[in-house]
Amino acid sequence: MFKIDEYLSLLRSEKLKRAVRIQSEIIHHSRNFLKQKGFIEILPVIISPITDPLTDYRIRGEIECYGFKYQITKSMIFHKQISLLSVPRIFSFSPNVRIEPASRERSGRHLIEFVQLDIEMKEAGRDEIMQLGEGLLAHIVENIKANCEPDLEFFHRDLKIPEQPFKKISYQEALRRYGTDYEIELSKRAAEPIWILDFPIEGREFYDREYSDQSGILVDMDLIYPEGYGEALSGGEREYQYEKIKKRIEMKEIGLKAYEIYLKFAEKGLFPSAGFGIGIERLTRYICGLSHIEETRMFAKLPGVLGL
């Protein structure tokens, strides 16, 4: 059932008004930063015959038209790689739909529809894309501090511009120190954003590149916000060679047929690249210091709840 009264009180709240204003500034300053670095904004893709497998979210939003099957975008990962055949540096504010388990309703961090700022850079390595991510976050925080003082005061948020380079920890070390809840444990203890590097192949999707000299380890990364806000972004270097991609899809026990179109592009030749996607609602939550992600955007859709 749709809870109109709760919805109206959120819509009329000072909190939402100010969070949305900050969000609009986040979008504006992200665009400025990326354009300055020579990135081109491409329009988002909402439906496609291929999307991120993200096997956690087995329910697929499928649309059938003209006898073809389109899926609702879970991420634009393959479109980002394919775009590089035209322009070398791209970004997009990409709406993603991921049907999260209803048990995540009150996690504070999960929406079933969210927007990620998705970035990809031709012939870049992980270090270069991590530097870009650090610069982007620092630029956003700096500009929000300069332009949104009354809003930050309202949220009692005293943000620090993160110091670059950010700290790094390997996945193995994070797991050893903090156990399987490493993301949240690390985030709670951190005073500055921190990178987690080198995830094992079993836990990630098939598109991040495997080290050529370390079997089973990927050249990828997550960025974790401090103060318990959890994951900020995810990305890495990409597999771009046809045979390797095919092998990786098969390892996941996904039928090659599902990625036939993507494989055709890979066969014709993709470029090496690196990129990441940073969730806009989670970034807004971190900047404003909010506990609940539904307070970070208009029309938030929580897992298991009817949204607008």
Report the nearest approach of ligand ASN to the CB of residue 75 (Å).
3
Decide whether 67 or 203 has the Cβ nearer to ligand ASN.
203
Spacing of C-alpha 158 from chain mean position: 25
List the x/- string, 73-92, binding to ligand ASN by CB under 6 A: --x-x---------------
Confirm or reject binding of residue 239 to ligand ASN (CB under 6 A). no
Confirm or reject binding of residue 276 to ligand ASN (CB under 6 A). yes
Choices 61-69, 132-140, 211-219, 270-278; region in contact with ligand ASN by CB under 6 A: 270-278
Report the nearest approach of ligand ASN to the CB of residue 129 (Å).
9
The whole-angstrom separation of Cα 106 and Cα 126 is 33
Beta strands at 167-170 and 113-122: parallel, antiparallel or unpaired = unpaired
| Residues between 129 and 188 that touch ligand ASN (CB under 6 A) | none
Phi-psi group of 289: left, alpha or beta (phi > 0 → left; psi -120 to 50 → alpha; rest → beta): left
Choices 9-17, 148-156, 162-170, 274-282; region in contact with ligand ASN by CB under 6 A: 274-282
Confirm or reject binding of residue 235 to ligand ASN (CB under 6 A). yes
Decide whether 83 or 234 has the Cβ nearer to ligand ASN.
234
| Total number of residues that touch ligand ASN (CB under 6 A) | 10
List the x/- string, 98-137, binding to ligand ASN by CB under 6 A: ------------------x-x-------------------
Report the nearest approach of ligand ASN to the CB of residue 201 (Å).
15
For residue 55, give the amino acid letter: T
Find the residue with minimal CB distance to ligand ASN. 277
Confirm or reject binding of residue 277 to ligand ASN (CB under 6 A). yes
Choices 38-46, 122-130, 137-145, 273-281; region in contact with ligand ASN by CB under 6 A: 273-281
Please give the residue ranges that form the binding site for ligand ASN (CB under 6 A). 52, 75, 77, 116, 118, 234-235, 275-277
